Amino acid sequence: MLKTAIINWLLVCTDPELRDIAKIIKETSVHNGQHDPISLECDKVFLERLKVNPRALKMNFWEKHFELDSISCFEEICGKVLDFGCGSGHLDVLLARRGMTVHGLDLSPIGINIANRLRERETQDVKKLVTFSVADVISQTPVGELFDSAWSAHVFEHIADPGPVLTGLQNWVKPGGHLLISVPLGKAYDDPGHVNHFFSAHELYQFLIPHIEVKKIEENHEFHVIRALCIFGKNHEPS
Protein backbone atom coordinates (compact mmCIF):
# COMPACT_ATOMS: atom_id res chain seq x y z
CA MET A 1 0.00 0.00 0.00
CA LEU A 2 2.84 2.35 0.93
CA LYS A 3 4.72 1.77 -2.31
CA THR A 4 1.62 1.93 -4.50
CA ALA A 5 0.57 5.28 -3.05
CA ILE A 6 3.99 6.81 -3.62
CA ILE A 7 4.51 5.40 -7.07
CA ASN A 8 1.05 6.62 -8.13
CA TRP A 9 1.91 10.01 -6.76
CA LEU A 10 5.27 10.15 -8.54
CA LEU A 11 3.57 9.26 -11.80
CA VAL A 12 1.24 12.24 -11.74
CA CYS A 13 3.24 14.81 -9.79
CA THR A 14 4.74 17.70 -11.72
CA ASP A 15 5.65 19.81 -8.69
CA PRO A 16 9.42 19.53 -7.95
CA GLU A 17 8.97 20.27 -4.22
CA LEU A 18 6.47 17.43 -3.84
CA ARG A 19 8.42 15.05 -6.08
CA ASP A 20 11.40 15.58 -3.80
CA ILE A 21 9.33 14.78 -0.71
CA ALA A 22 7.81 11.71 -2.37
CA LYS A 23 11.34 10.52 -3.14
CA ILE A 24 12.42 11.00 0.49
CA ILE A 25 9.41 8.97 1.63
CA LYS A 26 10.22 6.21 -0.82
CA GLU A 27 13.94 6.15 -0.02
CA THR A 28 13.38 6.21 3.74
CA SER A 29 10.93 3.34 3.66
CA VAL A 30 13.18 1.25 1.40
CA HIS A 31 16.23 2.03 3.54
CA ASN A 32 14.44 1.20 6.80
CA GLY A 33 12.89 -1.95 5.32
CA GLN A 34 12.22 -3.31 8.78
CA HIS A 35 10.33 -0.40 10.31
CA ASP A 36 9.23 -1.05 13.85
CA PRO A 37 5.44 -0.71 14.25
CA ILE A 38 5.60 2.65 16.09
CA SER A 39 7.66 4.31 13.38
CA LEU A 40 5.37 2.93 10.72
CA GLU A 41 2.34 4.36 12.49
CA CYS A 42 4.04 7.78 12.72
CA ASP A 43 5.18 7.62 9.12
CA LYS A 44 1.57 7.17 7.99
CA VAL A 45 0.92 10.88 8.68
CA PHE A 46 3.10 11.79 5.68
CA LEU A 47 1.59 9.21 3.37
CA GLU A 48 -1.84 10.50 4.32
CA ARG A 49 -0.74 14.07 3.54
CA LEU A 50 0.72 13.02 0.22
CA LYS A 51 -2.55 11.40 -0.75
CA VAL A 52 -5.15 13.71 0.79
CA ASN A 53 -3.55 17.12 1.33
CA PRO A 54 -0.22 17.41 -0.54
CA ARG A 55 -0.33 21.21 -0.15
CA ALA A 56 0.55 20.57 3.50
CA LEU A 57 3.99 19.33 2.42
CA LYS A 58 4.87 22.62 0.74
CA MET A 59 6.71 25.48 2.41
CA ASN A 60 4.32 28.17 1.17
CA PHE A 61 1.44 26.39 2.97
CA TRP A 62 3.33 26.69 6.28
CA GLU A 63 4.45 30.27 5.67
CA LYS A 64 0.79 31.29 6.08
CA HIS A 65 -0.03 28.81 8.82
CA PHE A 66 -1.67 30.23 11.95
CA GLU A 67 0.51 28.12 14.30
CA LEU A 68 3.55 30.09 13.16
CA ASP A 69 2.22 33.21 14.86
CA SER A 70 0.62 31.43 17.80
CA ILE A 71 3.95 30.62 19.40
CA SER A 72 4.95 34.30 19.49
CA CYS A 73 1.83 35.02 21.61
CA PHE A 74 3.41 32.98 24.41
CA GLU A 75 6.57 34.67 25.66
CA GLU A 76 7.16 31.69 27.99
CA ILE A 77 8.17 29.62 24.92
CA CYS A 78 11.69 30.95 24.61
CA GLY A 79 15.37 30.09 24.83
CA LYS A 80 16.30 26.73 23.41
CA VAL A 81 12.92 25.35 22.37
CA LEU A 82 12.03 21.67 21.84
CA ASP A 83 9.30 20.97 19.27
CA PHE A 84 7.83 17.67 20.38
CA GLY A 85 6.29 15.80 17.40
CA CYS A 86 7.70 18.22 14.82
CA GLY A 87 6.59 16.12 11.83
CA SER A 88 8.11 17.43 8.62
CA GLY A 89 9.70 20.39 10.46
CA HIS A 90 8.40 23.13 8.17
CA LEU A 91 7.32 25.28 11.13
CA ASP A 92 10.68 24.88 12.88
CA VAL A 93 12.60 26.05 9.83
CA LEU A 94 10.29 29.06 9.57
CA LEU A 95 10.69 29.81 13.30
CA ALA A 96 14.48 29.65 12.91
CA ARG A 97 14.21 32.13 10.04
CA ARG A 98 12.56 34.41 12.62
CA GLY A 99 15.52 33.92 14.99
CA MET A 100 14.22 31.19 17.32
CA THR A 101 16.54 28.39 18.44
CA VAL A 102 14.58 25.21 17.97
CA HIS A 103 15.12 21.45 17.94
CA GLY A 104 12.44 19.36 16.24
CA LEU A 105 12.00 15.83 17.50
CA ASP A 106 9.81 13.10 16.10
CA LEU A 107 9.47 9.34 16.12
CA SER A 108 9.08 9.31 12.36
CA PRO A 109 12.24 8.79 10.28
CA ILE A 110 10.33 10.04 7.23
CA GLY A 111 9.34 13.25 9.02
CA ILE A 112 12.91 13.91 10.16
CA ASN A 113 14.41 13.13 6.76
CA ILE A 114 12.04 15.66 5.16
CA ALA A 115 12.91 18.17 7.90
CA ASN A 116 16.64 17.72 7.36
CA ARG A 117 16.21 18.22 3.61
CA LEU A 118 14.41 21.52 4.28
CA ARG A 119 17.18 22.55 6.66
CA GLU A 120 19.89 21.81 4.06
CA ARG A 121 18.40 24.48 1.79
CA GLU A 122 18.62 27.24 4.43
CA THR A 123 21.40 29.77 4.99
CA GLN A 124 24.18 29.01 7.49
CA ASP A 125 22.57 31.45 9.97
CA VAL A 126 19.26 29.55 9.91
CA LYS A 127 20.98 26.15 9.97
CA LYS A 128 22.74 27.16 13.20
CA LEU A 129 19.37 27.75 14.87
CA VAL A 130 17.43 24.65 13.80
CA THR A 131 18.23 20.95 14.20
CA PHE A 132 16.22 17.74 14.09
CA SER A 133 16.40 14.24 15.48
CA VAL A 134 14.46 11.00 15.56
CA ALA A 135 13.82 10.11 19.19
CA ASP A 136 11.27 8.66 21.55
CA VAL A 137 10.85 10.96 24.55
CA ILE A 138 9.46 8.07 26.55
CA SER A 139 12.52 5.84 26.39
CA GLN A 140 15.31 8.28 25.51
CA THR A 141 16.89 11.27 27.21
CA PRO A 142 18.45 14.27 25.49
CA VAL A 143 22.02 14.36 24.36
CA GLY A 144 23.50 17.51 25.90
CA GLU A 145 21.78 20.16 27.98
CA LEU A 146 18.06 20.34 28.71
CA PHE A 147 15.70 22.61 26.75
CA ASP A 148 14.39 25.86 28.22
CA SER A 149 10.84 25.29 26.98
CA ALA A 150 8.83 23.10 24.62
CA TRP A 151 6.06 23.29 22.10
CA SER A 152 3.83 20.64 20.60
CA ALA A 153 1.37 21.40 17.81
CA HIS A 154 -1.28 18.90 16.74
CA VAL A 155 0.27 15.89 18.44
CA PHE A 156 -1.72 15.11 21.60
CA GLU A 157 -4.87 14.27 19.64
CA HIS A 158 -2.79 11.34 18.33
CA ILE A 159 -1.76 10.08 21.78
CA ALA A 160 -4.19 7.89 23.70
CA ASP A 161 -2.39 8.06 27.04
CA PRO A 162 -0.49 11.32 27.64
CA GLY A 163 1.03 10.09 30.93
CA PRO A 164 4.19 8.36 29.63
CA VAL A 165 4.86 11.12 27.08
CA LEU A 166 4.50 13.96 29.59
CA THR A 167 6.60 12.07 32.15
CA GLY A 168 9.22 11.44 29.45
CA LEU A 169 9.18 15.09 28.32
CA GLN A 170 10.06 16.15 31.88
CA ASN A 171 13.48 14.67 31.24
CA TRP A 172 14.00 16.92 28.23
CA VAL A 173 12.98 20.32 29.64
CA LYS A 174 14.44 22.24 32.57
CA PRO A 175 12.37 22.17 35.77
CA GLY A 176 10.03 25.19 35.69
CA GLY A 177 10.15 25.28 31.88
CA HIS A 178 6.91 25.73 29.93
CA LEU A 179 5.22 23.47 27.40
CA LEU A 180 2.68 24.92 24.95
CA ILE A 181 0.24 22.31 23.64
CA SER A 182 -2.02 23.01 20.70
CA VAL A 183 -4.77 20.56 19.62
CA PRO A 184 -7.76 20.83 17.28
CA LEU A 185 -11.04 21.99 18.79
CA GLY A 186 -13.60 19.19 18.45
CA LYS A 187 -13.41 17.47 15.07
CA ALA A 188 -11.52 20.27 13.28
CA TYR A 189 -8.71 19.00 11.00
CA ASP A 190 -9.93 15.48 11.69
CA ASP A 191 -8.00 12.54 10.27
CA PRO A 192 -7.96 8.79 10.93
CA GLY A 193 -4.96 9.16 13.26
CA HIS A 194 -6.88 11.27 15.80
CA VAL A 195 -7.58 9.09 18.80
CA ASN A 196 -8.81 12.00 20.97
CA HIS A 197 -11.27 14.81 20.29
CA PHE A 198 -11.42 17.75 22.71
CA PHE A 199 -14.71 19.63 22.48
CA SER A 200 -13.80 22.25 25.08
CA ALA A 201 -10.85 23.68 26.98
CA HIS A 202 -12.21 21.85 30.02
CA GLU A 203 -11.91 18.47 28.28
CA LEU A 204 -8.27 19.12 27.39
CA TYR A 205 -7.65 20.31 30.95
CA GLN A 206 -9.05 17.04 32.36
CA PHE A 207 -6.84 15.06 29.96
CA LEU A 208 -3.64 16.87 30.99
CA ILE A 209 -4.07 17.70 34.66
CA PRO A 210 -3.29 14.23 36.10
CA HIS A 211 0.17 14.55 34.50
CA ILE A 212 1.24 18.20 34.36
CA GLU A 213 0.37 21.61 35.83
CA VAL A 214 -1.79 23.66 33.46
CA LYS A 215 -1.16 27.39 33.83
CA LYS A 216 -3.46 28.77 31.15
CA ILE A 217 -5.89 27.17 28.69
CA GLU A 218 -7.97 28.77 25.94
CA GLU A 219 -10.22 27.90 23.02
CA ASN A 220 -9.52 29.75 19.78
CA HIS A 221 -12.62 29.80 17.61
CA GLU A 222 -10.95 31.60 14.72
CA PHE A 223 -8.56 28.72 14.04
CA HIS A 224 -10.52 25.97 15.82
CA VAL A 225 -7.79 25.00 18.27
CA ILE A 226 -7.34 24.72 22.02
CA ARG A 227 -4.05 25.85 23.51
CA ALA A 228 -2.76 24.86 26.93
CA LEU A 229 0.26 26.48 28.53
CA CYS A 230 1.70 23.95 30.97
CA ILE A 231 4.66 24.05 33.32
CA PHE A 232 7.01 21.27 34.31
CA GLY A 233 7.26 20.79 38.08
CA LYS A 234 10.02 22.84 39.65
CA ASN A 235 10.69 20.03 42.08
CA HIS A 236 11.26 17.21 39.66
CA GLU A 237 14.69 15.73 39.27
CA PRO A 238 15.32 14.58 35.69
CA SER A 239 15.68 10.77 35.79
Ligand X SMILES: C[S@@+](CC[C@H](N)C(=O)[O-])C[C@H]1O[C@@H](n2cnc3c(N)ncnc32)[C@H](O)[C@@H]1O
The yes or no reply on residue 86 touching ligand X (CB under 6 A) is yes
Q: How far apart are the first and last CA of the chain?
A: 41
The neighbour count for residue 210, using CB atoms within 10 Å, is 9
Write the binding mask 200 to 239 for ligand X: x where contact by CB under 6 A, - elsewhere. Answer: ----------------------------------------
Task: Find the shortest distance in angstroms from Cβ 176 to ligand X.
Answer: 23
Dmax over CA atoms of the chain, in Å, equals 55
Task: Find the shortest distance in angstroms from Cβ 206 to ligand X.
Answer: 20
DSSP classification of residue 108: -
Q: Of 82-90, 93-101, 212-220, 228-236, which segment contacts ligand X by CB under 6 A?
A: 82-90
Residue closer to ligand X, measured from CB, 158 or 197: 158
Tell me how far apart the alpha carbons of residues 150 and 166 are, in angstroms, rounded to a whole number: 11
Task: Find the shortest distance in angstroms from Cβ 89 to ligand X.
Answer: 8
The neighbour count for residue 144, using CB atoms within 10 Å, is 7
Task: Find the shortest distance in angstroms from Cβ 48 to ligand X.
Answer: 9
- Among positions 149-188, residues that touch ligand X (CB under 6 A) are 153-155, 158-159, 165
| DSSP3 helix / strand / coil % (the chain, rounded to 5) | 45, 20, 35
The yes or no reply on residue 45 touching ligand X (CB under 6 A) is yes
Q: Of 1-9, 71-79, 100-108, 204-212, which segment contacts ligand X by CB under 6 A?
A: 100-108
Strand order of the β-sheet with 225-231 is: 130-134, 101-106, 80-84, 149-153, 178-184, 225-231, 213-220
Rule CB under 6 A: which residues touch ligand X? 42, 45, 85-87, 106-108, 111, 136-137, 153-155, 158-159, 165
